[in-house]
Structure formats: structure tokens, C-alpha cells
Amino acid sequence: MVDFYPLVGPILRRIDPETAHGLAITALKVGLVPSSHQRDYPILENEIWGRRFANPIGLAAGFDKNAEVADTMLGQGFGHVEIGSVTPRPQAGNPKPRLFRLTADRAIINRMGFNNDGADAVAARLSNRHRRQSGWLGVNLGKNKETEEALDDYRIGVEKLAPFADYVVVNVSSPNTPGLRALQGRDPLARLLSGVRGALDGLSIDPRPPLLLKVAPDLTDEDKRDIADVVIAEAIDGLIATNTTIERPQTLIDGRKSEAGGLSGAPLFEPSTRVLADFYTMTGGRLPLIGVGGVSDGAGTYRKIRAGASLVQLYSALVYQGPALVARIIKELAALLEKDGFPSVADAIGADHR
């Protein structure tokens, strides 16, 4: 695949970030971005939740909030794509501007506020989708800002969108919806996950999509232990670690570093990987983890896997490197596994804990 992003990227980065993102979605929808024709690497194949993943690289939620280009992004080489976050009712999100590039730090700050078309519109798009065998689709669920009983919204999301999902994510870790992160506490989280699990089990879906929880990086050790205990007790199928951070590392140099919102990109790599490793230890490696945060190359992907990730997701790095990044990561990861003598990517999961 010819990589045009070194020419196009600098132009896009001169445009307001949210406008540039909209242009990228449009270009993908109308076929202006060619599909990847990378070779397959059997060493990267793995079976998780009874599903065969051609590679562990996935697109994190936030890029395709409204399920407009999921299959197109699978065509870029991702092994899975996660859409959303989707709320039951359409939501405008927070006032603009609400998306900021920290170019000097290879980072992003966003305070989008779950802007999306709502569950009915997304379900309509997904109902017209011809399921492809080139990758899997995750659906990330959120709650509307004004909803007082969060469980009601997550139940609605499950009922409307789980029939189209290969896995379902309960997102209680965005910093941009007031009170949302409080749902990560032991008691409210147990109640929420029990209710969502009940709603999912009540649907006539065969096979039932796995249920995952997405957590924040800004957790105390006690928070992490509570979450680990709850997900094991409630038989949750996996964890996604992590969402964006509200912390601002002292290493940030870009002038936009003081903007409110969640920080993603390169500065999130180390803290998110530590949280991932902690959850691998606290859950005894008993459930699949998806590692997210600051991934921008094969080496970073490999570190997430060795820390305990069965799958790895990225998003912010695409802003700076473009879609050809996916094929580069896949090639680099395969080479690193071979260099260290792992017969498959599955054998490398959690290797740093042995």
C-alpha cells in the first residue's frame, strides 16, 4: 500500500482537530483511503472468547463513534474495531472546542462528552452491515449525561446494540461525563455489572457476545483490587485498560497541556501499561485484557502483550502517523515475537510476570 499520509497528514494537522477528524471519516466512507494488502502472519493469530483474531491490533473506541467506517477500518488491517461510545439517546456532547492536539508531545486532549447519534441510529447502520470475516466488531456503551440511573442506559444499550456486536463494553471511565467514574467503586460497579450481565443474558443471541469493562488509569491500588474482585465475582469476560487520564505529567511541553479533558497518546503509555500489568496480576491472568494507551509502534504493542494484554488498541497515534501504521506494527510485532522465540503471540501474553 502506498502511504500518502506523510503528504496529507501535515495538511490535516493545520485544520481544527474535530473538523480534520470529520474529513477523515468522510474520506474513509467514500473510499479515498485504500485498503491495506499486508501479508498474514500466522504467529499473530490467537483465539479469544471462541473467536479467532488474525492479529491482536485493534482500533480503540472514539475514532468511529457512530459505526460509519468500521469495515473500512478493518480493511486497514486491524484485527478488531471498537465503535462508540454510544448512548441510548443522541447527544451533542460538550461545547466546542473540545479536541486538542499536543503535537510536541504526540498526544491528544479531548473533552468530547459522548457526542454520538444515539443507539437507534447506530443500530440501524449495524443492521445493514454484512459481517466480514476479516475482523471483529466491539460496541462501547456509555450513558447520557442527564440520566440519573446509569444502569437503565446501559441496559438500553445492550438491548439495542448487543445483537450486532462481537463483544460489548461497559464504559464507566470517561472523564468527560460528570459522575461517570464514580461507578468504578466496588458497590456501584457490582450493581451495574450484575444488571448489565442480566440484560445481556436475557437476550436471544447465540453466541452471546463477551461483556467487558473499560477502566480509567487514574486508580488507587485499592480501586484496582476492588475492580478486579468485582469483575471476577460477576463473571465479566474481560477488561480494557485504560481510558484517557486526567493527570498531566510534568514532561508535557505543548502549550495546550492545561486544557481540561482526558489525555491520550504517548504520555499515557507508561501509566496505562502499569495499570494493565496490575490487573493481570490481580486477576491471576484468568481473563483477557485489552491494553490501550500510547501505542505507536510494534515495540510498544509487544510491551503491552508481555505486560498481560491479549489484545492491544490504538487511536491517537493514527493522528500523527496515519493508517499505514497498522501494517507497520503488525510486521514489527511479528519480528519481535520471532526474535524472542515465541511460537505464537498467545505464548507472549503476560511473559513479564513469569
Spatial contact of 337 and 43, defined as CB atoms under 8 Å apart: yes
Spatial contact of 239 and 213, defined as CB atoms under 8 Å apart: yes
Q: Would you call 174 a catalytic residue per the annotation?
A: yes
Q: How far apart (Å, rounded) are the C-alpha atoms in residues 351 and 354?
A: 6
Q: Measure Cα distances from 156 to 90, 142, 209, 256, 354 in Å.
A: 13, 10, 16, 37, 41
SS3 256: coil
Residue 43: DSSP 8-state = G
Which residue matches cell numbers 502517523?
321
Catalytic residue among 174, 264, 272, 316: 174
10 Å Cβ neighbour count for 214? Answer: 27
Please name the residues in contact with 156: beta carbons below 8 A apart, sequence gap of 6 or more: 88, 119
Q: How far apart (Å, rounded) are the C-alpha atoms in residues 91 and 30?
A: 25
Q: Is 335 exposed, middle or buried (0-12, 13-18, 19+ CB in 10 A)?
A: middle
Q: Measure Cα distances from 86 to 3, 119, 145, 246, 247 in Å.
A: 31, 6, 12, 21, 25
233 sits in which H/E element: helix 221-233
Residues catalogued as catalytic = 174
